[in-house]
A and B are shown apart, each in its own frame.
Chain A
Amino acid sequence: MSTSVDERSTVPMAMSEAERRAMQSDRIRRIACVGLIAALMLPAMGWAQAASSPTSAQVVRVVEANAYVTPEGKLRRSGRVVIENGVIVQVGGERPAGTVVDGYEGGVLCPGLIDCHTGLGVLGPLGEHAAAVQPRVRARDAFNRYSWQLRAALEAGITTFGLVPDDENLVGGRVAVCQTASPEGGARALTDGGPLKLSLAPGVFKVDREPTSRSAALGMLREKLEAVHGGSNSSAERDALRAFAEGRLAGWLTAPSGADVLAGVQLADEYGLRLTLIHTHDARLVAGELGDAVEGVVVGPLGMMAERRDAEAAKRFVEAGVPVALAGGLPHQPADSLRIGACVATRAGLPRAAARRAITSEPAKLLGLGKWIGTIEKGYQADLVVFSGDPLDLRSRVLAVYVGGCRVYVAPATATQGDRP
């Protein structure tokens, strides 16, 4: 198992980072998770009774592998996880007596991968272009839980994903958080109360509606934010926008160019917004400008051939102390695009620990679920992926996937295991 110098060196940073995020995401939890508890616990009860069925989870279940991914993103040996009622109750330590044990020789336990920016399994487009400001649109409404794509994503190790409205609206609507599988088998939406999607991408500027220029775009955004306090516009809009304007609701801003980033930072500063920036190409120029003005940055998707400046973006942001989550861009990218992105970023200099966090815990935090998924730790939902090696190593395969403590996918035994140098 290769855990070499560069990882150890990055750990302190990572720790402090993690703590700081934890402090900050305090408020997120309070909002996001009332509905969430229901969403998570009810099914848990559900499969507690249905213990007899082979696919469903035992009350107590032990998953064993050679190593697991720690909350800091490091690889540590002796991966043993004890699951009870779909929740992780013990990591490492002794194996409890009389329990079902799933053992994976040479396997690595990784938190279920989280692709925070996808259009997975949507019916039709994820954008309503009649008007540029659409705070009441919910991506969840376009979610098709029977789409074949979800299965493909699951088999690539993605357990949770964000369904994000497209970039062609100034205010695009609410992000939905969904899972590719559930203990009952089918996919499910965890919450439709995700962050509010905003965009300054060129796609926003159309010839048949306002705005047609960035001047107008930012102007309108300001007007809306100020109007919220005036209470002029309709209730639903007001609720979403007010929550956003008052910093109760996180916003995701697509900011392709450096200019857009600066504009976003400036807005966040003017109105005390909680912003996450997406798809920034000019990281080189602006990484230093962000400081703690934004909650985090979503980088990617990074294709196999991503341009150098995009590939290095993650590294630059991490160096600047900005939390980074990677996007997979499914379904327009291949199913394992998230891991490809992580590899590309790593080869461009992103520390491996940070890279592992960027596809597990960081996106969870940015989606407002930092307390529930994305890490292998006591009390977290038991979403696990068992890889045949380091998840960052494209040679390693997915052996099995657990959602809510329930094994929802096992790889066919025939395929050979990629061996490590």
Chain B
Amino acid sequence: MNRQTLATRAGSVAARAARTWVRCGLMLLMVLGLSLPVSAEGGEPPGVIAVKAGRVHTMTGDAIDHGVVIIRDGVIEVVGRDVEIPAGAEVIELPDGVITPGLIDACCMVDFGIPEGATGWLHGAKPYSFWRALSEIQPEAPDAPSISVLDREFPAGPVGAVEKLTAGQPAHATWADQAYEVTPHRRVVDSLNLLSNDFARLLRGGVTMAYISPDSANVIGGRGAVVKTAGPLGDRVVCAAGAVKATMGGDPIRRGLPNYLPPMYGPTPNFHTRRPTTRMGVDWVFRKAFFDAAKAQAGEKPGGADAPPPPALPVLQQVLEGRVPLRIQARMQHDIFSALRLAEEFKLNFILEEGTEAYRCLPQLQAAGVPVVFGPLYMTASGYRGRTDEARRPRLTTPRQLADAGIAFALTAQELRDEEGLVRQAMVAVRHGLDEEEALRSITTAPAAMLGLSGKVGELSPGAAADLVVWSGEPLSATSRPKLVVVGGEVVYELE
């Protein structure tokens, strides 16, 4: 029975991190500041730790049997078979355990569903209840969500409803800013709830670092963030302003109004329904934004229909100059094609997100040299993705095909957790032909590379951050799970 939670973690960390929090402000100020995630003065120095286990996947070379990992001040010092353990080192020995680097989810969504306990969808922020005391007649029964929701969405009845509510959020709920279609000047980190229980769940799944990708509700959305899932709150945010996220296909059309209702039943036109309503519109908004950015750079004054908001332009220009990376989410074949086409028009390099039908565009992706953050893998799409018409033709073999085609790719579970979480994604990929080593790489080194953190995270090599997971068995076996998770040289999760 596992009662490990972020809250306790945060609570205990809070005392130590009281001062380090202050430094977070400075950290956030550094645009693109990819500082070394661990810092010696984060709380009191962890000192020297030696982790011994039956097997160590370093991800830099072959796996080491009966290996030892020596951690000093939150950084890996030595990894090897027979390393003498420095005196005074705290020794953690799990003979039948297997060590891997902390897993990295390259396209994660936190509190995507309605967070447990939260009554509003505002990613964990409890709705403000100053005057609620008088308005409410009866306390809300935990197992009885409002009938309207039930009838519309869950013919299975209330029993299934709560599960579903927490599993997949209604399609129109989103973090993204709805005021404009183009919002690269917004940062997802501002919407992020570092205290969310979701991080604890990620941690329990062996994920120690996550690239938080903005929602797909805008054609050009905000900027992602790289965060650690544990450790002092002040050290969590590794990169506050990452890549700009763009979205092809139906999501910008669909998000913001319930896509499972016929149009006339949707909400009255407002910010949420202001978006383009066809793929023509989506592509146009994308093109127009970068066109205007280029124009503004040339000193001309942009204008006309769908002009992006002024503060967006500088960021777009940085994207054009390649100083800010670009990610484009596309699921279906022709959305991927339009992504490639638009990138071609503006000479943009980008990373493809989700790529459900990437298996149908292998040659093109290969040619364009576009890396893919692929996932999640599924046979039947769940949650809101299931309500889009873009998840109809998944291929469980896609990871293998990407590997065969020599396309750089990382796996992601996005909003999925636990049995569909990151490591399980890799498991499914292996079941469908991906080589095991390859699969491990696709959730450690590959994402690290995409985040520009190669050598710092995602591998167990001297000088890398001491983020590692000790599994009860081989990480990709159905019967094993994380026993111990170390982040920044501190044990942040232990299976009791």
Give the interface segment out of A108-116, A240-248, A284-292. Answer: A284-292
CA distance A320 to B221 in the complex (A): 39
B11 and A284 contacting across the interface, CB-CB below 8 Å? yes
Contact A279:B187 (CB < 8 A) given known A216-B177, A216-B179: no
Q: Which residue of B lies closest to A262 (CB)?
A: B194
Task: Please pick, from A219, A258, A281, the residue contacting B186 in the complex, using a CB distance under 8 A.
Answer: A219
CA distance A175 to B88 in the complex (A): 58
Residues of B within 8 A of A258 (CB): 193, 195
Residues of A within 8 A of B183 (CB): 215-216
CA distance A303 to B136 in the complex (A): 14
B178 and A213 contacting across the interface, CB-CB below 8 Å? yes
A285 and B7 contacting across the interface, CB-CB below 8 Å? yes
- Minimum CB–CB distance from A7 to chain B (whole Å) comes to 26
Q: Which residue of B lies closest to A278 (CB)?
A: B130
- Minimum CB–CB distance from B16 to chain A (whole Å) comes to 9
Q: Which of B121-139 contact A (CB under 8 A)?
A: 122-128, 130-131, 133-134
Give the interface segment out of A23-31, A93-101, A198-206, A398-406. Answer: A198-206
Residues of A within 8 A of B195 (CB): 257-259, 262, 282, 285-286
Contact with A along B172-195 (1 / 0, CB 8 A): 000111110001011110111111
Q: Which residue of B lies closest to A221 (CB)?
A: B190
A289 and B14 contacting across the interface, CB-CB below 8 Å? yes
Task: Please pick, from B179, B190, B272, the residue contacting A218 in the complex, using a CB distance under 8 A.
Answer: B190
Contact A215:B222 (CB < 8 A) given known A262-B194, A285-B7: yes
Contact A208:B271 (CB < 8 A) given known A257-B126, A282-B195, A289-B17: yes
Q: Which residue of A lies closest to B271 (CB)?
A: A207
Check if A6 is an interface residue, CB within 8 A of chain B.
no
Check if B120 is an interface residue, CB within 8 A of chain A.
yes
Give the interface segment out of B21-29, B332-340, B343-351. Answer: B21-29
Q: Which residue of A lies closest to B120 (CB)?
A: A202
Check if B147 is an interface residue, CB within 8 A of chain A.
no
- Minimum CB–CB distance from B10 to chain A (whole Å) comes to 5
Contact with B along A184-208 (1 / 0, CB 8 A): 0000000000000000111101011
- Minimum CB–CB distance from B295 to chain A (whole Å) comes to 23
Contact with B along A93-134 (1 / 0, CB 8 A): 000000000000000000000000000000000000000000
Q: Which residue of B lies closest to A257 (CB)?
A: B125
CA distance A219 to B184 in the complex (A): 11
Check if A49 is an interface residue, CB within 8 A of chain B.
no
- Minimum CB–CB distance from B398 to chain A (whole Å) comes to 31
The interface centre, meaning the residue of A213, A216, A258, A332 with most chain B CB atoms within 10 A of its CB, is: A213
B193 and A257 contacting across the interface, CB-CB below 8 Å? yes
Check if B278 is an interface residue, CB within 8 A of chain A.
no
Q: Which of A210-260 contact B (CB under 8 A)?
A: 210-219, 223, 254, 256-260
- Minimum CB–CB distance from B222 to chain A (whole Å) comes to 5
Task: Please pick, from A203, A219, A285, the residue contacting B190 in the complex, using a CB distance under 8 A.
Answer: A219
CA distance A211 to B191 in the complex (A): 12
Q: Which residue of A lies closest to B221 (CB)?
A: A215
Check if A269 is an interface residue, CB within 8 A of chain B.
yes
Check if B311 is an interface residue, CB within 8 A of chain A.
yes
Chain A residues engaging chain B, CB cutoff 8 angstroms: 167, 200-203, 205, 207-219, 223, 254, 256-260, 262-263, 265-266, 269-270, 279, 281-282, 284-289, 291, 293, 301, 303, 305, 329, 332-333
A-B contact sample (6 more), CB < 8 A, given A209-B271, A282-B195, A285-B11: A203-B128, A213-B178, A262-B233, A270-B28, A284-B11, A291-B22
Chain B residues engaging chain A, CB cutoff 8 angstroms: 7, 10-11, 14-15, 17-19, 21-22, 24-25, 28-29, 120, 122-128, 130-131, 133-134, 175-179, 183, 185-188, 190-196, 222, 233, 267, 270-272, 311
Q: Closest 3 CB pairs between A and B?
A: A288-B14, A257-B125, A201-B128
